[in-house]
Structure 1
């Protein structure tokens, strides 16, 4: 099932202490602000849900995992306040993933761009298929992946972040992402990926919830400043999106 709803869809299924959260949008599973807001609230809700030990984050369909933020909304930004608000959408979701008391597994079945790479990086453990190439193309339109950069750097280091962001025109394949530490495992097919995720999530869900929580806290040590940091980064992007360079680049894409 793929959604045709303009603001996208978000569904959660809870079974055997595993919450599967699935987002979808007709434009390659991209995120309008409303969908980001819903995802943030859902992750915060599941954080305190006693019937859940583990969360699986996935997207609809068999093609793109996530094409990042909504292009239509990006083009519509007219002032600094709107700009900061637009880019703070992913900031809030990443912080919700960071502060969530449950471990989050990422199921990355296809290509991932921009903010989608940030989502994959903010998962505690991500698995992917060979089709899950990644790209941070923000520099090509005069902005940068500033909001998601801390999450990406935390997984693949400064050198990986530099390679991914500065080669803004290049796709990096799933094996590159695995070698750098973004993906834990890469599979030939979605079927293989799903089988492994089912087995792995069931094992995790059977462990002591308190031990899982303490492990999550350990993994995210020294990120307590991200609430402020990611909002500051959103302001940088919000300013750049109003630049003449970006306005011209976006108008070319629009055509």
Structure 2
């Protein structure tokens, strides 16, 4: 499939999805959101892809925000539709993807860019990264899940301050606050992400997808995370991966998982 705003490569069971609008600092417009949705959907169905790395092109930005020119003249109804469709097609979609998604934050991750990074299963930042939700400086609020995911990740008080001040934090502060898992140099970023991805690949894809579902359940209204965990745990017993994993352990050899 050919895309205009993103690049997709796959090697050794790891897909790298790059948002490629460097002249716009990789800002998210509707076309890019639609392309990302299609790409993630296709990669999830590809049994050869076990981890997805998401990053931005160039050295300045992961995603510097949404494309403001697209919605500057929107009505109330259009604004609500923009947020609802964006969350469904991309942000919620990525969060609930069965395949692990790692955000490689290589520079500015602002507004929709930080919201996209937060929708990924975890984040690794380059040491030049800057993150923030500056929407209130434009007279609007984060609309792609930012008011929900940021407090979940760094706590209510810190999230309130970041959102109300419209300020940015650097990579080290993001790491201290738990927003990103690791900080490395920009030249090492993708290699470091690949190393973690390779560790993930050694484990059961089936179990990992169930773990993602169970962890996410704790943050969903009306869901009981413990019940979701119990059901997912039980279902693991009926998989080939469980039989292979336990047999390999007892035979003192490395397991060869198939994801079935």
TM-score bracket, normalised by the shorter chain, equals: 0.7 to 0.9
TM-score of the two chains, using structure 1 as the length reference: 0.79
TM-score, scaled to structure 2: 0.78
1:67 — aligned with what? 64
Aligned length: 217
The whole-number CA distance in structure 2 between the counterparts of 1:222 and 1:185 is 24
For structure 2, list consecutive stretches of 5 or more residues without a partner in the other structure.
Answer: 223-260
Counterpart for residue 213 of structure 1: 209
For residues 186-213 of structure 1, the C-alpha deviation after alignment (integer angstroms, 9 at most, x for no partner) is 11x2122222112111121221111211
Unmatched segments (≥5 aa) in structure 1: 1-6, 227-255
- 1:10–1:38: 8 Å Cα contact kept in structure 2? yes
- Aligned residue in 2 for 1:252: none
Distance in 2 of aligned mates of 1:143 and 1:8? 29
Could you tell me whether the CA contact under 8 Å between 1:126 and 1:184 is conserved in 2?
Answer: yes
> What is aligned with 1:41?
38
Answering whether residue 99 of structure 2 is matched by residue 102 of structure 1, we say: yes
1:156 aligns to 2:154 (yes or no): yes
Counterparts of 2:53 and 2:179, CA distance in 1:
16
Q: Which residue of 2 aligns with 1:88?
A: 84
| 1:26-37 alignment runs, 5 A limit | 26-37=23-34
Give CA deviations for 1:150-194 in whole Å, capped at 9, x if unaligned: 1222211212211210111x221111111111100011x212222
Cα distance in 1, alignment partners of residues 11 and 199 from structure 2: 14
* CA contact 1:22–1:58 (8 Å) conserved in 2: yes
User: Aligned partners of 1:158, 1:65: CA distance in 2, in Å?
Assistant: 25
1:8 offset after TM fit, Å? 5.4
Q: For 2:76 and 2:165, how far apart are their aligned partners in 1?
A: 28
